[in-house]
Amino acid sequence: MDKLSSVIAAIDAGKLPTQKQVNDAIDWTLENIVASVESTDAGKLSEPGKILARGLQDLLLAYKQLGTNKNRSYLKLPPSEFSLTLDYPYR
């Protein structure tokens, strides 16, 4: 539960959680909340429930992979080629 609370605390403080915090929260959620379709408890799920659980697992794993790859891509760029420009249409 500490994994989820650290993400919530970061958001409550007006900050984005780190990718490690997000990954830890996703891992904890997958292990403790989302039923694994292959587990013995999966027999208690209806067929639509199994589809939902599998879809939620896929979504969480995809979000985790997206964040990990996004952050990793910045590390591969040499500093001289990296420039950050922010164009906000709300000026």
- Helix axis angle, 19-32 to 47-76, nearest 10°: 160
In a domain, 43, yes or no: yes
Residues 58-85: tens digit of each pLDDT: 999 999 988 888 766 555 555 544 455 5
Burial class for 74, CB neighbours closer than 10 Å (0-12, 13-18, 19+): exposed
Please indicate, yes or no, if residue 83 is contained in any of the structural domains: no
Domain-embedded: residue 86: no
pLDDT of residue 70: 77
CA angle in degrees (0–180, nearest 5) for 45-46-52: 80
In a domain, 79, yes or no: no
Domain that holds residue 50: 2-70
8 assigned to some structural domain = yes
pLDDT in tens, 7-65: 889 889 999 899 899 999 999 988 888 867 777 665 678 888 888 888 999 999 999 98
pTM of the model: 0.64
Q: Is residue 50 part of a domain?
A: yes
Tell me if 88 is assigned to some domain.
no
Q: Is the pLDDT of residue 90 over 50?
A: no
Would residue 52 count as lying in a domain? yes
Number of domains forming the structure of the chain: 1
